[in-house]
Amino acid sequence: MTGATKWAPLVLFILLGSALTYGLAKPESNTIKSKMVGVSVPSFTLPAAVPGVPGLSSSDLATGRPHLVNVFGSWCLPCMAEAPQLKQIADAGVPVVGIAVRDKPEALQRFLSRYGNPFGAIGADDASQVMMAMGSSGVPESFVVDGQGRILQQQIGPVNPEDVAGIVAAVKAAR
């Protein structure tokens, strides 16, 4: 056996070992990005989640005005934490609409009177069906949707204070 073939198995073993160790050591990411970014919002119609605020349908998102679609629930802690930021975004002139996942009207009403209501419309998604259709895997998530109803951007997790400017800019830049 020549030198090269003699050492080849050891070298291969070390290469494989380092690749596997690297894969194990790298922290695993468990956020699931929606593959619907870049695609039109799937067609849906949701009834009003609370009396006094209209429900939401996909045709409301294709009226020529870009929107921020917030997937949330009154039972979700980070959704309470992001409420002030959504208010800021709405105050900046961005139309914000909500998809309330698995929510009760009374609980949602309490949530809105306690944390404010930035939403122009809130649809009741009682069995998470529209959430799934959007490729969203939890609450809260927010989608920037352009005037034709195309999803431009997905925010996974709460909208933090440092995200506000970027989201407002993204919606303003959309058509």
Distance of closest approach, residue 169 Cβ to another protein, in angstroms: 27
- For another protein, give the closer residue by CB, 16 or 173: 16
Distance CA 166, CA 175 (A): 16
Distance of closest approach, residue 61 Cβ to another protein, in angstroms: 17
- For another protein, give the closer residue by CB, 73 or 158: 73
Contact residues for another protein, defined by CB under 8 A: 30, 32-36, 73, 75-77, 101-104, 107, 126-129, 132-135, 137-138
- For another protein, give the closer residue by CB, 122 or 164: 122
Number of H helices, E strands in the chain: 5, 7
Distance of closest approach, residue 124 Cβ to another protein, in angstroms: 10
Distance of closest approach, residue 105 Cβ to another protein, in angstroms: 11
Quick one: CA dihedral 19, 24, 29, 35, positive or negative? positive
- For another protein, give the closer residue by CB, 76 or 90: 76
Kindly report each contact of residues 102-108 with a partner whose C-beta sits within 8 Å and lies 24 or more positions away, as own/partner.
102/73, 102/75, 102/126, 102/127, 102/128, 103/49, 103/73, 103/74, 103/75, 104/74, 105/49, 105/50, 105/51, 107/74, 107/75, 108/49, 108/50, 108/74
- For another protein, give the closer residue by CB, 90 or 124: 124
Distance of closest approach, residue 93 Cβ to another protein, in angstroms: 31
